Structure formats: structure tokens, C-alpha cells
Amino acid sequence: MIEERIGVRQLTILVIHFMLGTSILIAPSNLAFVAKQDGWIACMLGILIVAVSVFLYDALARRYPKLTFTGIIEVIVGKWIGKLISLLLFAYLFLLTAFLVRVAGNFIATQILPETPIEAVSIILLAVIVAAVGYGIETIARASEMLFFPVLILLALLVLFLLPESKPTNLLPILERGPKPIMLSAFYLFTLQEVAVFLMLYPNVSKPEKTRLAMLKGIMVGGIALTLTTTFCLMVLGTELTERNIFASYSLAKKISVAQFLRVDAFMAIIWLIALFFKAAISYYGASVALAETLGIRRYRVLILPLGMLVMWLSIIVYQNIVEFLNFTPAIWSLFCICFVIVLPMLLIVIDRLRFGSKPGGQPKTAGKSQEQQPAEQAQQTNDQDQNGDQTQDRQIQDLLTDDQGQAGEQDQQTDNQGQASTPDAGQDKAADQEQLNINGSNNDHMPPPTTQPLQ
Amino acid sequence: MFLLLKMVFVISLLIPLAGCWGRLELNDMAITMGLGLDLADDNSYIVSIQVVDAGEASATKGSLGRSPVVIYSSKGKTIAEAMQRMTASSPRTIYNSHLRILIIGEKLARHGVREVLDYVSRDRQFRTDFPVVIAKNDMANSTLKLLTPIESIPAIQMMRALQNSEKHWAPTIAIHFDELIQGLIAKGRQPVVTGVVMIGNAEAGSNRSNIQTTSPKNRLKFTGLSVFRKDRLIGWMTEEESRGFNIAMGKAYRGTGNVGCDDGDKVALEVQESSSKLGSKLRGDKVDLSIDLKIEANVEEVACSMPMTKDETIRELEKRAEATLRRIIEKTLERVQHEMKSDIFGFGEQVHRHYPKYWKKVSNDWDMHFAEAQVKLNIDVKIRLLGTVTNVIEPEDTQ
Amino acid sequence: MPLSIVWIIIIAGIVIGIQRGMLFNKPNANKGSTGEKIAFYTLLVLGVGLNIALFKDWLMVSPLNVLRMMFGPAAEAIAQWGMVGK
């Protein structure tokens, strides 16, 4: 039973924003630094690897469609080890959010508002992020849809106006230093995408069977945008300048002067800020949900405010100066990411198979229900419950999955007693839902129904 | 209640939007139009800026008699220090984002420009689209002082003049700041920078009386290009040689050239389209370089009496044009390749692109290899149009 | 007390106020379960404490150093492998 629904297209758009987030500004410089003029090849390769990793996540999530990443962890490896690992995952997401906020502050402080202390920018950005997550992932998804077209248009303008100034010969000689720099660079790029964060959102997608396709579409579009940006950086600025400029694509935007007077570099900053905001919001959502699930708290919203203060603190402490950042991010952060982005999912899949065979684990405590009973129960609850539309959809999905896989793959069914339906408050205002969390089935069988209390 | 709070919160979020922390009012700004960098005798830098006096420059009701621009100047061990020191005499905050031209004194250019350019490229206020020139045999300081007719702000005048003459007069090209940086960083190419000379004298030129006549005694003129090696200026090219360079790089634009006729007089051809390709071919241990030049020209002025309507004439003119161009470019090559030994054409980059392994071997002393390489010229001129008339004006004998 | 610390405490106060008003209310699922309250207040205290420490320049050590220690050598090795002839 998930309350907040993200449409399939919204997922795609979220992924695109996520991919553009930090990468569009920092990646070209890093790519050029390692792979020199072959940076564009490395970019494409990195994106391909990301796309492949989606299949990995899909394999994991398909078995537990209603669980977030932390939920899946706890089901597969057991409660206590699971909580430990979930805590680490939380740390990863938390760190990620802090990084993003800090990088945003750095960029603005360097290029746009040089006299403003970074903290001021960070606080404002953080306030918006916290508020956004407070409104829920659904709201964030809708906002991303709205803000998507400006981003696309601005990117298109970038490409269009730079075409006349681009010199493809700057991309030669190809493969001058062999494939190794390209592979290394692609590896760095791939880990920096951090797409695994979306595993925290999988349960929220309205049509789980379409999740994989949505993610792939998003990755492809985001990847193309990123590759185009990198390629143009190399073609227009040349390898040396791309390496040299920390915010290479911003320098690229500075070169555009429409009719000799219109300067569009501010637009680039806007695109980037929007994309970064969504990346940070999703990461923060993931972090809050991860922490809430680990601690067994049902409403992740409770945590977002104090957690915000901690993010503020961390974002300042996380690195002293930009050189640290540049040295740390590709090398060490990428290895840290690998743990969560590749190693963990793979391990989970393996353990999952070993432990539970063909049926995913963690049947609810009130199990002993056979498959036939479940639809009946569902029907009962459907009738009784304050209708959100969730239930029927739940059932449809359940049927679908049951048909596909022959499993009773639901972890978090409405197995509770109606007596617990506390709020008759029928403000069906989905936009302001207060969300109830679904804890993994193995340790919780009581799921209070969604309280639809609008945030006042 | 909470609704009110939320609204207050949202509205309060609008306040930081204006970026008030770093605000700078327009009339607190001294907008720098031209920047001049020089080397002082004790190896410290002299930084001069040409700042607009807004009230004067755009005076609609008749000027106040002041100069439209003011020059501030100061010394420092680093450029940044000099800029800071300048604020002691400037009543307003110096704002560099609208820089129109950067002038480097020749002494500084010969000493090495790497350090000064770092400041300009690192500082966030400077953009990269302004041209750079070198004050030949002079200090940038003096060059900035000159007042110019027509355009009240000399820096803008210089920038416009440079851009215009780039389009119409072959020896001049405008090198923009980012091109210069690219040329400096690139391993296979050495940069060139346009030179500017002063005719007359700076002190007299900084007086308004200079521009109160029809032909000002003191003015600026763009001359031939300077050749760099690494980041030091090593020599100047003459106008002819600069022309050769530009033509060889395919930048002849609408330059005009004279071709000799049979009877010793000249025909003027104007270039309509030109394109050039640099080529390199590896031959064992050496590399042969080549320039392929394609030019389409129109006849602009016929000062001799060759019959213009005959095919042979045109072909003859084309051949002569090719020969003339060949001569010019060869002269340039002679000077740059053998005398100055600096690859300003970018052959090195070509070699890097096509023969990366060979490039690895020679990249460290490429200029020496360049000096010894054979450069083959393939020039192809095609004359397209004759203008609006065919034959020359032949005054009839009235007997 | 330095101004920034006052600010931090004010913000903490606002946070508690918002939380109380919006999430720990009676209609909102039993005033917030005990677990939630513990988590919330712990995090809040942590947040306030750390921020104050930050402003007083204590505890400036970045937690990233842990990561650096763990992954340092491996990262070096990978970089060496990839960056041929730089």
C-alpha cells in the first residue's frame, strides 16, 4: 500500500533531472582531464554502463515491488544485519545530499554571487529541499514535470547556438592514449550518476512493470544531453580549456552571444540549479526514508526538519576547499558509490536467491494465508477502507504479478484490522498527503491505513 | 494559522532572490572599457584602466568639457595587487565585466604574458570575448590615454576598428582573449597577437584638442602581427608578412590584392571566399607540410588595358594572382619558419591529430622540426565576377 | 553569546514549533509515537550541537577522512592504471 504515486513519465523526467544534476557542470572537466579529447566516448560508455545497471536494480526490485531499498535489504539479510546495512545506506544518501548542497553553494559563490557567504545560499536551498520533501515525493515528481520543458529548451538553445563555433577536428586524434583512460573515465562517470537512489522510489511508481522502461528512457535522454554537452565543450573550447575550467559547461554558455549582445550564461546556471535541486530533493527523500525505515519510524516526515539541520552542518564540513573536492570525488567517492550502486544490489540478488529460492522472502506474520485468501482479504479491505484508489490498483498489480511470477509477492498488504482506521478525515488531497511508511513485511504486520491529513 | 505562516515563509524566500548581499549600484560602478598591462623597470606590473565617465560620454545636452574616459593607473607586484591599489584613487568600484580591449605593452609581452593572463582568466568578472592587442614599442598606459574621434570611448573605438579592419583589410585580425589562451596552451601552435602603434604622441593625444580637428595628429593604427614563442613575444611581422599569414590561414576575407598586368599596370582583385587547409604527411622520419589554399575573387579595379572579356585574360590573371600569393606566403614562411622558428600556423596540431605517435616523439621541440620542414603550397585562384562593367574606360581620341 | 548560536537556537525552536504544530498533533496519529519523538529530538539535539560546534570551530574534521582512509590506496591504484602517460 503506497500512498504517493509517481507516474511513469514523471519517473523518467525525475531520472533526467537526476542525471543532469551535478554531472552536466562538473563531468566535462573531469572527463577531459582523464580521457582528454576522447571524453565524449567515455561519456557514452559511462551512460551505457548506467543503463545496464538499471537491469540489475530491476532484477532486485521485481521480486519486492513494494519495498524500498532499505526494505529489501532487511528482508533479504535479516533484521539486524539489515538495519546495519541500511544505516550505511542512509549514510551514503545523507552524504550525497550534503555534497549536492555544498556543490550548489560553491558554484553560485564562485560564478554568480561572489560576495555571498556559502552558508546563505546553502540555507535557502536547503529550506526549499526540506519543504519539497515535506510535501512528498509525488509533489516533487509533479514539479519536475513542470520544470522539465524549460530545461530541455535551454539545452537545445545551447547546442544550437554553438554549432557554428564547434570544430570537430578538436576531437582528433581519437584513442590517442588507448582505451584505458576512456574506461577509467567512464567508470568515474558511471559511479557519479548514483542512480541506485531510485531504488528508494521504486515502490512509489504507479505501474511497477513499467519502471524499468521509464528508467531506461530517462537515462538515455539524460545521457544524450550529457554527451552532447561534453562533446560541445570539447569541440568549442578544446581539450585544454575544458580540462582547465572547473565548470566547463558554464564557460561554454558564456561563449554564446546572440546578436552580439544577449548573454545566456545565466540560463545555464538556471538549468543546472533546477536539475541539482531535484537531485538533492530525491537524495534527501531517500535519506529520510532510509533512516525512518531503519529506525522503524512510520512517518519519515517527522525526521526531515532535524535531518535538514544535520545536512546543513555536513555540507559545510564535508570539504574545506574545492581542490579537496576535485581530488576526492572521482577517486574515492566513486569507490564508495560502487559499494552501494553495484556491489550491494548484486550481493542482495545472490543472497536472495540462495535464501529464498524462487519465492521472495518475508511473508507477513499473519501469513498462513494462502494465495486464494489474499484476494479475498483485499476485497474486504477495499470495501471497508477510505478509498484512495490505492487498493484497487494494489489488487490489480497483485493480480498481475501473481500471474506473471506465480508468487505471492506482496510484502505489505493491508493485513490490518479495520479498527485501526483512525482518521475519518476524508480530505482526499493527495498533494498534501502525510505518508505512511511501509516497513518490510518481516517484522511488521500492522499497517495503519493512510492518514490523509493535509499539511496545513 | 499555518497557512499564514507558509505564505510568510514563501514570500520571505523572495527576498534573497535579489541577491542583495553582493549588490552594486550602477552609479557606484566604474566600468572598465580598456585594460592596459605593462612591465615596470623593477619587474612589477603597471595596470591601467580606461574607465567611462558616463555622464560625459553620453552627454545629450552638450558636454561638460571633460574627457569621456578617465585613466587610472597603479603598480603592484601582482596584477591583483595593482588592481586593489587602484581603488585608492578611483571613487567607484571597478567593474570589469564589460571590458572591450586588453592592451599589453611590448616590454611585458617580451618578458612573458603567462602570469598576467592568469589573473584575467581566473577572475570571475572578465569574460573572454574581448580582443587583445600589443602596443608596439610602447607602453599600454600611453595607448590608453589617446582620445579618439567619432567614438567617444577609445576602447570601444579600438575594438570596433579592429573588428572592421579584420573584415576588410587582410593584414589585421582580431585575436580574442580565449583564442590567445588556446594558442598559448596548445602544444602544436604558437599564438600571434595584433599590434597597435601610435602615430604622434600620447600626451598631446590625451587632450580633447586632439579630436577637435578633421585629421587628428595623434591616433592609433593597427599594424602587423606579433609572433610569440611559448608566452613571449619574439618578433613582429611586417604588413606583407601578416597578410601572408592571414591568407594562408584562410582568413583573407575581403582583402584586396594587386595583380600585375602585361603593361606594368595593375588589376585589383577582391577576395570573396577563401579557405585553406593545413596538411601534413609523414615521410619516414620527417613530416612534409602543405597548405591548400582556395580563393575566389572578383575584379575590383582595372587600371590597365588588358581586354577583360577574353578567357585567356582571366586565366592569365588567375595565374598571376596565384603567383603573387605564392610569393607573399613564401615570404611569410621564410620569416616565420626560418628566422623566427615558431609554428604560428598550427601545423603541430595537425601532426598531432593525424600522426599521434610521431607527435609524441617530436612534440617537445616541434618548432625546430617545423623550421626544417618542407612546406608545399597549393594555391588555386578563381576569378568569378568582374563588377558591373566589362572593359575599361578607353577614352576615345577626339581628333 | 555569539549571534550565530542564538540563530541556531532560534531555528531549532522554530523547527520544534513546526513539528509540534504539524506532526505531533492529536489528530495526527496519536501525537507521534514514542519512537518518532525520540528520533526527532535526538536528531534535533545532534543538529543543534553540531552546528554550534561548527560555529565555534570545534570538530572541523571531515567525516570524509574515514572514507579516504578506507578507499585511498585502491583509488590511487585505479587512477594509476587508467591515466597512462599523463
Task: Report the C-alpha gap between C29 and C32 in whole angstroms.
Answer: 6
Task: Report the C-alpha gap between B325 and B245 in whole angstroms.
Answer: 11
For an interface test with B, the pick among A113, A162, A167, A273 (most B C-beta atoms closer than 10 Å) comes out as: A113
Average pLDDT over residues A169-184: 79
* Contact assignment for B16 to A124 by CB distance below 8 Å: yes
- The residue behind cell 523526467 is A13
Confidence category of residue A427, pLDDT binned at 50, 70, 90: very low
Average pLDDT over residues A190-199: 85
Task: Report the C-alpha gap between A128 and B124 in whole angstroms.
Answer: 27
- The complex scores an ipTM of 0.81
With 80 as the cut, is the pLDDT of residue B381 above it? yes
User: In Å, how far is B356's CA from the nearest CA of chain A?
Assistant: 6
* Contact assignment for A456 to B2 by CB distance below 8 Å: yes
Contacts of C58 in chain A (CB under 8 A): none
Residue A251 has a pLDDT of 81
Which amino acid, one-letter code, is at A111?
A: Q
Task: Report the C-alpha gap between A435 and A140 in whole angstroms.
Answer: 14
Strand partners, B258: B268
With 60 as the cut, is the pLDDT of residue B324 above it? yes
Nearest CB to A254 within list B16, B19, B127:
B127
- The residue behind cell 504517493 is A4
* Contact assignment for A451 to C67 by CB distance below 8 Å: no
Residue A47 has a pLDDT of 92
Q: Searching chain C, which residue's CA lies closest to the CA of residue A456?
A: C22
Average pLDDT over residues C57-68: 71
Q: Are A239 and A219 in contact (CB under 8 A)?
A: no
With 50 as the cut, is the pLDDT of residue A401 above it? no
Residue B222 has a pLDDT of 85
On average, the pLDDT of chain A sits at 74
| Interface residue B361 vs chain A (CB under 8 A) | no
Q: CB atoms < 10 A from the CB of B287, how many?
A: 22
Strand partners, B69: B52
Q: What is the 3-state secondary structure (H, E, C) of chain B?
A: CHHHHHHHHHHHHHHHHHCHHHCCCHHHEEEEEEEEEEECCCCCEEEEEEEECHHHHCCCCCCCCCCCEEEEEEEECCHHHHHHHHCCCCCCEEECCCCCEEEEEHHHHHHCCHHHHHHHHHCCCCCCCCEEEEECCCCHHHHHHCCCCCCCCHHHHHHHHHHHHHHHCCCCCCCEHHHHHHHHHCCCCCCEEEEEEEECCHHHHCCHHHHHCCCCCCEEEEEEEEEEECCEEEEECCHHHHHHHHHHCCCCCCCEEEEECCCCCEEEEEEEEEEEEEEEEEECCEEEEEEEEEEEEEEEEECCCCCCCCHHHHHHHHHHHHHHHHHHHHHHHHHHHHHHCCCCCCHHHHHHHHCHHHHHHHHHHHHHHHHHCCEEEEEEEEEEECCCCCCCCCCCCCC
* Contact assignment for A244 to B2 by CB distance below 8 Å: no
Task: Report the C-alpha gap between A225 and A228 in whole angstroms.
Answer: 5
Task: Report the C-alpha gap between A368 and B154 in whole angstroms.
Answer: 90
Residue C17 has a pLDDT of 76
Task: Report the C-alpha gap between B389 and A167 in whole angstroms.
Answer: 40
Reference A33, options A46, A24, A21, A42; nearest CA is A42
With 70 as the cut, is the pLDDT of residue A449 above it? no
Residue C85 has a pLDDT of 46
Task: Report the C-alpha gap between A340 and A334 in whole angstroms.
Answer: 10
* Contact assignment for C82 to A434 by CB distance below 8 Å: no
**Length of chain B, in residues:** 399
| Interface residue A296 vs chain C (CB under 8 A) | yes
Contacts of A291 in chain C (CB under 8 A): 39
Task: Report the C-alpha gap between B266 and A183 in whole angstroms.
Answer: 62
**Residue B300 burial (C-beta neighbours within 10 Å; 0-12, 13-18, 19+):** middle
Q: Are A438 and A450 in contact (CB under 8 A)?
A: no
How does pLDDT run across B26-36, given as a tens digit for each residue?
777 788 888 99
For an interface test with A, the pick among B128, B156, B355, B359 (most A C-beta atoms closer than 10 Å) comes out as: B128
Q: How far is CA A271 from the centre of its chain?
A: 18
Reference B179, options B100, B239, B121, B138; nearest CA is B121
- The residue behind cell 554553438 is A162
pTM score of the predicted model: 0.75
How does pLDDT run across C4-60, given as a tens digit for each residue?
777 777 777 777 777 776 666 655 555 556 667 777 788 888 877 777 777 777 766
Confidence category of residue A282, pLDDT binned at 50, 70, 90: very high
Q: List CB contacts of A333: < 8 A, sequence separation 6 or more.
A: A99, A191, A192, C67
Reference A292, options C45, C35, B303, B302; nearest CA is C35
Average pLDDT over residues B335-361: 85
Task: Report the C-alpha gap between A41 and A47 in whole angstroms.
Answer: 10
C-alpha to C-alpha distances, B270 to A382, B181, B258, nearest whole angstrom: 85, 32, 9
User: Could you tell me which residue, B20 or A111, shows the higher pLDDT?
Assistant: A111
Reference A211, options A353, A8, A397; nearest CA is A8
How does pLDDT run across B108-150, given as a tens digit for each residue?
989 988 888 888 888 878 887 888 999 888 888 888 888 777 7
C-alpha to C-alpha distances, B330 to A52, A137, B326, B327, nearest whole angstrom: 57, 70, 6, 5
Those of residues 45-84 in C touching chain A at CB distance below 8 A are 46-48, 50-51, 54, 59-64, 67-68, 70-72, 74-76, 78-79, 81-84
Task: Report the C-alpha gap between A268 and A24 in whole angstroms.
Answer: 10
Contacts of A240 in chain B (CB under 8 A): 182, 185-186
With 90 as the cut, is the pLDDT of residue A393 above it? no
| Interface residue A451 vs chain C (CB under 8 A) | yes
Question: Angle CA(A73)–CA(A205)–CA(A384) in degrees, nearest 5?
Answer: 95
With 60 as the cut, is the pLDDT of residue B75 above it? yes
| Interface residue C27 vs chain A (CB under 8 A) | yes
| Interface residue C40 vs chain A (CB under 8 A) | yes
- pLDDT more than 70, % of chain A: 76
* Contact assignment for A320 to C15 by CB distance below 8 Å: no
Residue A377 has a pLDDT of 42
Task: Report the C-alpha gap between B207 and C41 in whole angstroms.
Answer: 74
How does pLDDT run across B160-177, given as a tens digit for each residue?
888 888 877 777 888 888
User: In Å, how far is C2's CA from the nearest CA of chain A?
Assistant: 17
Which amino acid, one-letter code, is at A445?
A: D
C-alpha to C-alpha distances, A122 to B14, B75, B135, B296, nearest whole angstrom: 15, 38, 46, 59
Strand partners, B219: B199
